[in-house]
Amino acid sequence: MTGSDQPGSDRAGIDQAGSDQARNDKDRVVSPLADADDRLIEGALRPRRLAEFVGQGRVREQLSVVLEGALRRGRAPDHMLLSGPPGLGKTTIAMIIAAELGVPLRLTSGPAIERAGDLASVLSTLSEGEVMFIDEIHRVARPAEEMLYLAMEDFRVDVVVGKGPGATAIPLDIASFTLVGATTRAGLLPAPLRDRFGFTAHLDFYEPDELGVIVRRSAGLLGATLRDDGAEEIAGRSRGTPRIANRLLRRVRDFAEVRADGVITRRVARDALELYEVDENGLDRLDRAVLSALVSRFGGGPVGLSTLAVAVGEEPETVEVVAEPFLVRAGLIARTPRGRVATAAAWPQLGLPLPPGGPPGPGGAGLGGPGTLFD
Ligand code: ADP
């Protein structure tokens, strides 16, 4: 990437990456992907230090030990891999890591690293101890990935000069740095890359009470008047995702100002979210479309991801990364080796009676419980 040592251009890489998916997704008020509006506001709402970061208790604790250890030794900590659905705080954690270590942060993204040279230009300008964040790291191009292995292990890059038989690799030492990689699809990471991370954390969806704390904090920062019952209502409909919680808060605040007296109560939050078609469980149109296709058109499955995606007119990746993890978490669908199946809870969710023979699925058993996410 040209000029990738400039923070502005790195950010642009991320924006580009996000926008592909965001285009399909832009009219969804509960999309976990960030739109331009979100990015503007998110800067102000992001917790800056580990102590301000709500939820993900285990990850926070592990991280604080890793960071404290590194600070005591005066050395850059191990490379860290953060995985989990979009909007759960991976970028926020990368920023916190740099802040806690008191070092600069370089932001880039997998799709922005198309050639090894793009990566070399970033790596060769890192300063000692710097944190380098690569979002969507599973999308880094192959040749760059090989360069990353060497850089992560030996803090060295081989710069190839010339072409064809006359080409020579000149080894170049780079500063010791900490790579923080984020991915929504850990399963797509090649093993040699995964193995080079000394610390791996998986972020999970947040509990409603944690989201309640997050929206109250955000309301304070935005200067919105939010009652506890209003916070509870927003938290319960946020698909376990802080980014969505913050976005719903902004929509509800608009509604409260325009249609009510500006105070966000449960009533106001409910009316606002009904207007935006976000139901009590946080399911929105895409979620309902996926669930309803699975139940009504495919008799509850099993059905393959691409077939399901065609049925709802979306890209398979959007269904897989955006809708599915939450539907699985909500216990409404399960991923099986033969395809996606609806659980017994899916029919009542859509207001439909269960099929006479019971729902399909792995032996018809284990349904209605939390599905498994193997990725
Ligand atoms: P990701 O990189 O996983 O897509 P981000 O780190 O960009 O997610 O988080 C999206 C937004 O959600 C951030 O701007 C931040 O305001 C909010 N957020 C995420 N995690 C937390 C948290 N644990 N506490 C408070 N706010 C959070």
* Interval 158-188: pLDDT, tens: 888 888 888 888 889 999 999 999 999 888 8
Tell me: do 195 and 310 sit in the same domain: no
Half-sphere exposure of 53 toward its Cβ, with a 13 Å CA cutoff?
Answer: 24
- Shortest-distance Cα residue to atom 12 of ligand 1: 243
pLDDT, position 301: 81
225 vs 203: CA distance, rounded Å = 30
Question: Has residue 4 got a pLDDT over 50?
Answer: no
Task: Specify whether 57 is located in the same domain as 175.
Answer: yes
26 in active site? no
Residue 152 domain-assigned (yes or no): yes
Whether 307 is catalytic: no
| Domain closes at, from 141, 168, 202 | 202
Atom of ligand 1 nearest to the CA of 82: 3
> Are residues 264 and 321 both part of a single domain?
no
Mean pLDDT of the 32-38 span: 74
Residue 372 lies in a domain: no
Beta strand 80-83 with 199-202: parallel, antiparallel or unpaired?
parallel
In this prediction, residue 30 carries a pLDDT of: 67
User: pLDDT, tens digit, for every residue of 97-149?
Assistant: 999 999 999 999 999 998 888 899 899 999 999 999 999 999 999 889 989 99
Whether ligand 1 lies within 6 angstroms of the CB of 55 is answered as: yes
Residue 163's CATH number: 3.40.50.300
- 163 classed as catalytic: no
Domain membership flag for residue 129: yes
Q: Is the pLDDT of residue 6 over 50?
A: no
Mean pLDDT rounded to a whole number for the chain: 86
**How high is the pLDDT of residue 23?**
45
- How far apart (Å, rounded) are the C-alpha atoms in residues 341 and 302? 5
Residue whose CA is closest, atom 19 of ligand 1?
Answer: 89
CB-ligand 1 contact for 136 (6 Å cutoff): no
Structure tokens at 333: 């669908």
| 197 and 50 share one domain | yes
Q: pLDDT grade, residue 51 (50/70/90)?
A: very high
Residue 17 lies in a domain: no
Same domain, 225 and 335: no
Least confident of 83-87, 111-115, 281-285, 349-353: 281-285
How confident is the model at residue 286, as a pLDDT? 86
In a domain, 1, yes or no: no
How many domains would you assign to the chain? Answer: 3
Of residues 357 and 236, more confidence is placed in 236
Show the DSSP H helices in 30-173 as ranges.
36-45, 57-73, 90-101, 116-123, 142-154
Return the minimum-mean-pLDDT range out of 56-65, 108-117, 244-253. 108-117
CA distance linking residue 33 with residue 23, whole number of Å:
10
- More confident call, 299 vs 56: 56
- Residue 91: active-site member: yes
Q: Which atom of ligand 1 is nearest to the CA of 46?
A: 16
Are 59 and 166 in the same domain?
A: yes
CB burial class (10 A; 0-12, 13-18, 19+) of residue 200? middle
Which of 243, 244, 321, 326 has most ligand 1 atoms within 8 Å of CB, for mutation? 243
The string of DSSP letters for 299-355 reads TT--B-HHHHHHHHTS-HHHIIIIIHHHHHHTTSEEEETTEEEE-TTHHHHTT-PPP
Q: Is 36 contained in some domain?
A: no
Same domain, 64 and 144: yes
User: Is pLDDT above 90 for 66?
Assistant: yes
Whole-angstrom distance, CA of residue 205 vs CA of residue 59? 13
* Residues 101 and 151 occupy one common structural domain: yes
Write down the pLDDT at residue 309.
Answer: 93
Q: Cβ(247)–Cβ(28) under 8 Å?
A: no
Residue with CA at minimum distance from ligand 1 atom 7: 91
- Same structural domain, 222 and 176: no
Whether 187 maps to a domain, the answer reads yes
Within this chain, do residues 129 and 80 fall inside the same structural domain, yes or no?
Answer: yes
Which CATH number covers residue 240? 1.10.8.60
Residues 237 and 194 in one domain: no
* Euclidean distance between CA atoms 308 and 59, whole angstroms: 34
In a domain, 104, yes or no: yes
Determine the structural domain holding residue 320 and report its residue range. 285-349
Q: Within this chain, do residues 166 and 260 fall inside the same structural domain, yes or no?
A: no
CATH number of the domain to which 291 belongs: 1.10.10.10
Most confident region among 17-21, 34-38, 103-107, 316-320 by mean pLDDT = 103-107
End-to-end Cα spacing for the chain:
30
**Per-residue pLDDT at 242 exceeds 60:** yes
